[in-house]
Amino acid sequence: MRVVKAPDVRRSEILAAANQLFQTQGYSRTSVDQIVNKVRIAKGTFYHYFKSKEQILDALADQLVLDMAYHSEQIANHTQLNAIEKIVTIISEQNRLQSEQQNVVDSMHLPDNRQLHERINIKIVLTFGPILATVIEQGNQQGLFDVKDPLSTIQFILAGSLFLFGEGVFNWPPEQAQARIQSMIILIERTFGAQPGSMIIALNQCLNEEKR
């Protein structure tokens, strides 16, 4: 008997099946036929929702950014953390979510997916900028920071870090990547008007975890 499901349910099932296959066997080794067989649908049903496997990756990447934004907003609204603690916790949570979707993240960085990678980076800047700007403004009020334009400042930092440390862009050797992380931490402290050394240990740990 043919099972008819609501469009949003069927679409979610296709995404979940594709994501599981990407994580277990890799994006490049996953075919549309495998996704179709896993969901137990006709290939025509798949193409009703997605034009290609690449469009599946696009949707999963979008969902990853939305998930990261949701968790970041929860942290930004936390009443028990100061601004520095929130920034560190947000970075740690982003690292965790990206690690759970590592095959999706790695696939975004493939040369053939350069346009997707650039589009996601733009979305990250536009999505996370306002969230982090509210945290920086809180830091201003707490006397931890002195930033005149929190949104423009954090968007500049985000865009620069995504390009400088993006996979497949510069491919820094480990020692050069570490040197640039240290320079970026100092730059962030100075740009935020933070007390020298107040963010170094915590940010160093988070940013180095991100590069592992």
Domain containing residue 29: CATH number: 1.10.10.60
Whether 1 is in a domain gets the answer no
Q: What is the pTM of this model?
A: 0.82
How far CA 85 is from CA of 82, 91, 103, 154, 169, in Å, comes to: 5, 10, 29, 16, 30
Enter the tokens of residue 190.
């100075």
Whether 96 is in a domain gets the answer yes
Range list of H helices, 26-113: 32-39, 43-49, 53-76, 83-100, 102-108
Length of the chain: 212
Grade residue 210 by pLDDT with cuts at 50, 70 and 90: low
Amino acid at 3: V
Q: What local confidence, expressed as pLDDT, does residue 115 receive?
A: 80
For residue 111, give the DSSP letter.
Answer: G
Residue that is written with structure tokens 């346009």 in the block:
115
Closest CA to 132 of 181, 209, 59, 192: 192
Residue 126 and residue 75 share a domain: yes
Q: How many domains does the chain have?
A: 2
Whether 2 is in a domain gets the answer no
Closest CA to 185 of 91, 46, 96, 103: 91
79-132 pLDDT per residue, tens: 999 999 999 899 889 888 888 888 888 887 777 777 888 888 999 999 999 999
Q: How many CA atoms lie within 13 A of 5 on its CB side?
A: 14
Nearest-angstrom CA–CA distance, 157 and 188: 8
Grade residue 24 by pLDDT with cuts at 50, 70 and 90: confident
Residue 114 and residue 39 share a domain: no
